[in-house]
Structure 1
Amino acid sequence: MTTGTASTQAYEQLARDLTVGRYAPGSRLPGERELATQLGVSRATLRLALSRLESEGILQRSAQRGWFVPTQVIGEPPSTLQSFTEMARARGLRPTARVIRQEVRPAGMDEAAKLRIAPAAPVIEVDRLRGMDGTPVCFDVVVVPENRAAALATADLTDASLYDVLRERCGIEVHRSAYTLMAESADAELARLLGIGAGAPVLVGDEIAYTSDGTPVLIGHNKYRGDAYRFEADLFRRA
């Protein structure tokens, strides 16, 4: 068998294994020596197959840690405001949320200005680790004025959609969001929460959400894994 034929067969077998879910999104493949033995090829031949899968975006390589299956990338449809839960379900994925912090505290000066409330007025802060199909994807911090959503302080937000809770328990319907996005590197604590390496890229989104009458009801600060989130938008030139 020629090297090219062996490489093609190894590529096809690995592609089948990945298609049927033998290796889950975010997981690491066995070491090259073990994988080559399983497929009955040399390591040089295996690397040709792995490199082909990498070029197609099916695998990712880490020089220190080996070969990984990319996590499923989520993204906002152009010009559509969706909650994290809605994004996950639209892709057939199971959204999860682990509450890390849920408390009432005084608003900071910047928060008060954005929410149009008095400085030090009570706000509810909710910090959650959001995931999809068991994979951590986002660390999410939300701040809401207590006088507009008091029920949020005691609501069960584990695996819940915040937009749904605001609508059903507080009578608040989010209409639009002013959103900014930038790139950062994960610090040690964020890396631990998201299951990535310290210094890995993350996308940081800051938002102010409004009701249809223009009242600000929510400040959001979201940090997404850089390999798991894509933001899309329709852009138009002025006439």
Structure 2
Amino acid sequence: MLGVTASTQAYEQLTRDLTVGRYAPGTRLPGERDLAGQLGVSRATLRLALGRLESEGTLQRSAQRGWFVPTQVLGEPPSTLQSFTEMARARGLRPTARVLRQQVRPASMDEAGQLRIAPAAPVIEIDRLRGMDGTPVCFDVVVLPEATAAPLAGTDLTDASLYDELRRLCGIEVHRSAYTLVAENADAELARLLGITAGAAVLVGDEVAYTADGTPVLIGHNKYRGDAYRFEADLFRRA
């Protein structure tokens, strides 16, 4: 009975710590030995409390790295096209964007075909590390025709919404997106950027975005942390 009471107390204290933000989403808790000492319980008792929090989805366990607070999951409402910024803000989260590359270069043959421009025509490539509430969530590469999006080549896109800047600077409104999604494992460089373990699952999205008249305006290649993004869609059977 004493052990159950102690584990409940440890559970309640950890719940309070998580509620007030002592351990932010995406961070690792102290090691079990240190955490048990802080809470004044044995490691066996602590594990009962941690296991309870894990079953509730409040904590996640990694066999190699210990206990983590899950990153809050981003997900698009079914059949709704939202930018990363719009998704984050709709959930009360602070979106961030760090520009890693912003350059004008010739389009590849595949890019030219998708954007319906001449081979080797100039395009703007923008590589950004996207985050929410300070936690890296997505490595995002966008390619746009320079002919229609020239102002973006010299615009500071740190913490900016690309959709908003397209509308504001170029008069371009994204209407729909053809999107494919596959699962991959993170290589060492992507793992470093996203703060995950090499080999961890990531979701890779490829899109071509169009205006209302069907003109392609950008190509996107997005790599999301597997624990931070959920894709939803409404599916219908044909009559």
For the criterion TM > 0.5, the same-fold answer is: yes
Report the Cα offset of residue 68 of structure 1: 0.7
Which amino acid in 2 is paired with 1:188?
A
**Residue ranges of structure 1 left out of the alignment (5+ in a row):** none
Which amino acid in 2 is paired with 1:145?
P
Give 1:65's aligned residue: 65
Where do 4+ consecutive residues of structure 1 move more than 4 Å? none
Is 1:15 the counterpart of 2:15? The answer is: yes
Report the Cα offset of residue 179 of structure 1: 0.4
Is 1:217 the counterpart of 2:217? The answer is: yes
Which amino acid in 2 is paired with 1:82?
Q
Any residues of structure 2 matched to 1:41-52 within 5 Å, and which? 41-52=41-52
Listed one character per residue, the Cα deviations across residues 185-209 of structure 1 (whole Å, up to 9, x for unaligned) are 0011111111111111100000000
Is 1:96 the counterpart of 2:93? The answer is: no
Identity among equivalent positions (%) equals: 87
Give 1:117's aligned residue: 117
| CA distance in structure 1 between the aligned counterparts of 2:17 and 2:168, rounded to whole angstroms | 43
Give 2:161's aligned residue: 161
| CA distance in structure 1 between the aligned counterparts of 2:62 and 2:53, rounded to whole angstroms | 14
| CA distance in structure 2 between the aligned counterparts of 1:200 and 1:178, rounded to whole angstroms | 26
Give 1:183's aligned residue: 183
Which amino acid in 1 is paired with 2:116?
R
Secondary structure in 2 aligned to 1:222? strand
Report the Cα offset of residue 23 of structure 1: 0.7
Secondary structure in 2 aligned to 1:148? helix
Report the Cα offset of residue 3 of structure 1: 1.6
RMSD: 0.9
Report the Cα offset of residue 42 of structure 1: 1.1
Secondary structure in 2 aligned to 1:147? helix
Tell me how many residue pairs correspond in the alignment: 239
Listed one character per residue, the Cα deviations across residues 154-190 of structure 1 (whole Å, up to 9, x for unaligned) are 1111110000110010110000000000000001111
Report the Cα offset of residue 216 of structure 1: 0.4
Secondary structure in 1 aligned to 2:203? strand
Which amino acid in 1 is paired with 2:56?
E
Deviates more, 1:34-43 or 1:69-78: 34-43
Which amino acid in 1 is paired with 2:105?
R
Report the TM-score when normalising by structure 1: 0.98
**Residue ranges of structure 2 left out of the alignment (5+ in a row):** none
Report the TM-score when normalising by structure 2: 0.98
Is 1:130 the counterpart of 2:113? The answer is: no
Which amino acid in 2 is paired with 1:48?
L
Which amino acid in 2 is paired with 1:191?
A
